[in-house]
Chain A
């Protein structure tokens, strides 16, 4: 992982509800991501998703996390513990220290 630099921001990524299975069975990942995406725009949640698939996903079943370019149904995305729909959804621009939590819905009872 790169050292923190102006070109990178440090964020925490968390997976719950069984999603961690796709990410080496690790629930909490502290990552340093490029502050700009390929087109030079500030990194947002939309561009974070393919980055996660490429860099920390260890399972080839991408469709269990992403479908048709977006997070698959049944997964809630929380930005600093609030539903991303309250924060501008995938257009939310990531800031240093942000916490992004992916919650897979449970159904058992």
Chain B
């Protein structure tokens, strides 16, 4: 506090010093402040006679008496200004009105994982009026490296994420009303109406979920209920943030002042077609760094606060922020790209007449509530790869029995001496179990135009082997690798047959020794299961 200034201070600090003066006049005015300053302030306040007399006689001050005296010229600072939110209110773009808006805002966070963790903490800390938390998962140990709202204690207790996060937010700010929604985000049956009701109780929704089907559903709900959507996503070392379905004030939407308020694009406008399920990988599969998803969740919280303070309106053109924690060029760590606006033929937020011309219809509230929009089917389900025939696959049990018999004399009918090709990526091999004698050729290398097929061919035909078994974590990549090998050999064989004299296509000497090329069905996951449940004795 500037205590030696001779100029009356009109900043909020000056105001609060006046307020404090009323509360604790003796310490502030008599002991710590130069007389000239108290003079300035007090004369500014008007009649000071009683006040100064009080100071001089050192008599206790009658505060009700004072309030009565100054009420016509003195208004105390609003309570909010000296509240715990003071430091954010000092920012001119927030100020009193901004905090009043924050304190009245109703925010729903869907997904209390890596994104929802910092988002919920920061929004609770900022003092949003009502903070809704929606999730149906429990806290697990593997969440904690990034989901900072949860604690080990929640894992031990097996707490649902909603309860764990609610507890943390309430501990952080007892003034914030935190509402838990322990439910699966689903429509159809009684779920649809319930979800609609929950969403309708909020102004802004934060999509902190982890799969496309849920992302489309949240966006459609926000469109139907006119809610602003703050969408974030992160994977590995990268993240993205975008603002969707926000209200554009008429003046910004058009020069025509009679125009209705427009809205920004929705998730469907930006991504009308979902990616193929094979391209959608979860954090559990491909990994995520804590601070990366934390940065995105934090950015979502600040975008939410900005929108609240702006009165839920956005005049900027639609953009998406990209974050890369590990960029080749440090200048591209953060990058903002320009997106298209709302799509007139969007199935969720498009124009009725434009859709009609194309023979399309907008998704209605009833359709959504009744579960007639099938999000899972729309996004597809990643199915297990089925490109090998059953005769080209060996079960984990059969494989383990084969290796168990190898030591003895009993011959396996199909395979005696296999080349075992582990198709996992090197870092996955490092972190996973291994099969003795196997060689590691990652699938990405096998699929790359390179020499890996020739390498494998050379191993297969070195006279010591009679078969080739591919193995991976779950038995998907191994099929792709085996198919690639089988195809390469078939092509080679056909080329030989065409140029050969017989033309009938009999196997040459080399190939006739090859008993089997295929994979271990279910990969290491299946092998581990067999080992866990039996002590691998030949039947």
Contacts and interface: CB of A to CB of B under 8 A. Distances in A.
Given A81-B337, A101-B337, A18 B235 contact: yes
Interface in A38-76: 58-61, 64, 67, 72-76
9 contacts: A73-B273, A74-B273, A76-B337, A76-B339, A81-B337, A86-B338, A109-B113, A109-B208, A109-B283
A82 B337 CA distance: 6
Interface string A84-109: 01100000000000000101111111
A28 B329 contact: yes
Interface stretch (B38-46, B209-217, B244-252, B531-539): B209-217
Contacts of B444: 21, 59
A74 B270 CA distance: 9
B338 A28 contact: no
Q: Interface extent on A, as a size class?
A: 20 to 34
A109 B114 contact: yes
Nearest to A21: B444
B523 interface: no
Given A67-B276, A74-B276, 12 more contacts: A17-B240, A58-B449, A74-B271, A74-B279, A81-B335, A86-B340, A106-B235, A106-B239, A106-B240, A108-B210, A109-B209, A109-B233
Contact of B271 (A60, A61, A64, A105): A105
Given A61-B447, A105-B240, A109-B208, A72 B276 contact: yes
A16 interface: yes
A109 B447 contact: no
B98 interface: no
A67 B270 CA distance: 18
Contacts of A64: 278-279
A109 B340 contact: no
Contacts of A82: 337-338
A54 to B, nearest CB: 11
Interface centre among B114, B211, B275, B332, by most chain A C-beta atoms within 10 angstroms, is B275
B274 A74 contact: yes
A27 interface: yes
B522 interface: no
Interface stretch (B177-185, B320-328, B361-369): B320-328
A13 interface: no
A83 interface: yes
Interface of A: 14, 16-18, 21, 26-28, 58-61, 64, 67, 72-76, 78, 81-83, 85-86, 101, 103-109
B236 A18 contact: yes
A107 B339 contact: no
Contacts of B236: 18
Given A83-B339, A86-B338, A74 B233 contact: no
B327 A58 contact: no
A105 to B, nearest CB: 6
B116 A78 contact: no
A99 B102 CA distance: 40
B525 to A, nearest CB: 21
B449 A73 contact: no
B337 A105 contact: no
Given A73-B274, A108-B288, A60 B116 contact: no
